[in-house]
Amino acid sequence: MSRQLEGRRILVTGGSRGIGSAVVRACTEEGAEVGFTFRESIDAARKLSEGTGALPLRADASDLSQMTSAVELFTGGAGDGGKDIDGLVINAGVYRRTSFPDLSSEGWDRTMDCNLKGAFNCVKAALPYMGEGSMVFISSQLAFRGTPHGADYAASKAGMLGLARSLALELAPAIRVNSIAPGYVDTDLLSSDTPQKRRQREEEVPLKRVAPPSEIAGPVVFLLSGSSSYITGATIDVNGGLFIH
């Protein structure tokens, strides 16, 4: 049986942990040649690379020059001298829980630089190598719902959706651009939950559980594959029914 991404070259940003790590694993299992960026998690990146064969690329998504260098390392050259990128997964991001009165302009800028400007940088760096292909933005349910103590994060994720939809119109028909909006996922963002808080989250979700990162990776693989060839400009909610709109 053929694998969905056989022979394709996929770049995943923020790939060393959480959803990004699951996407890297899923893409390699489906036959893709994968590179992934990471910023600080050297041990996690090394372990993931050893387990999957994916290429680790140290880069801060908020820095365009670093992202450009990472892309050139993955493709093996600059401009026409490099290999094509068939798929780009924009996942790098930060979430610092801060009430709005305590949110400084510097804190706002840090979130926007990583999440929204970082998405811009990833596309700018990779686009010259994408004659055809698919981009997948990892947004959030909070782009629609908002959240207390996370206005900067919710705004940045909503901005990502606007960017993705605009790119879907501009880059068609050669490149498809879609988004995933996860709900509660068992990553570092929920690591500080008390057992009571975890049960509360599970009760909020109609499917009565928090998703493992692998359940986000599956839809990402679908959007990267030929099975989604007539889908662009879409946002897929992967949230267990937590938010229906």
Backbone phi, psi, residue 142, to 5°: -70, -15
d(CA 19, CA 135): 16
Residue 231 has which token pair? Answer: 């889908």
Compute how many other C-beta atoms are within 10 angstroms of the C-beta atom of residue 208.
Answer: 10
C-alpha distances in angstroms, 97 versus 118, 172, 237?
19, 37, 23
Report yes or no: 104 and 84 within 8 Å, Cβ to Cβ.
no
Residues 95, 129, 153, 184: which is the catalytic one?
Answer: 153
**Is 95 designated active site?**
no
Give the amino acid at 144.
Answer: F
Q: Which residues are catalytic?
A: 153
